[in-house]
Amino acid sequence: MALTGLEIFKMTPKKNCKECGFPTCMAFAMKVASGAAAIEKCPHISAEAKDKLAEATAPLMRTVRIGAGDAEKTLGGETVMFRHEKTFVSKTLFAVQFSDALSADVVAQKMENIRKVDYVRIGEQMHVELVAVKYAGNRERYL
């Protein structure tokens, strides 16, 4: 649940030192609550308050990274549940799942169909980027 500016203000040191770039701790707290400033900008805030705020401002959806290097894909990590609230930051990825119990011909047909899914929508290239193989007992076949 998002914290209000007043709840965040109660966790600040209330020094009004201006080191964070804001005239008062209340102004700073309001900016943190709106997402316009990071709590780390306050040099005097306690570690306990940082931990509480980090937990309260954590993304609603955890970030999941799949792959490595240039092939790494990121899912989640969104700070909103609905696009109209702000915006989604991670690109939507198309994924296909099939079982390792399928015959080689069926797998080949599915792979061919995967390659056919490729189009542009609203200026963005859409194609299958992830394939999940559901384990059904034939582990060695795909390793």
| 78 and 49 share one domain | no
| 16 and 68 share one domain | no
Question: In this predicted model, what pLDDT tens digit does every residue of 107-138 receive, in sequence order?
Answer: 899 999 999 988 888 888 888 988 888 888 76
CATH of the domain at 37: 1.10.15.40
| 109 and 39 share one domain | no
Question: In this predicted model, what pLDDT tens digit does every residue of 77-107 receive, in sequence order?
Answer: 776 666 666 666 677 788 899 888 888 899 8
| 78 and 51 share one domain | no
Residue-range definition of the domain harbouring residue 69: 64-142
Question: In this predicted model, what pLDDT tens digit does every residue of 12-69 receive, in sequence order?
Answer: 999 999 999 999 999 999 988 887 888 889 999 999 988 888 777 766 677 888 888 9
Burial label for 105, CB within 10 Å (0-12, 13-18, 19+), is exposed
| 70 and 51 share one domain | no
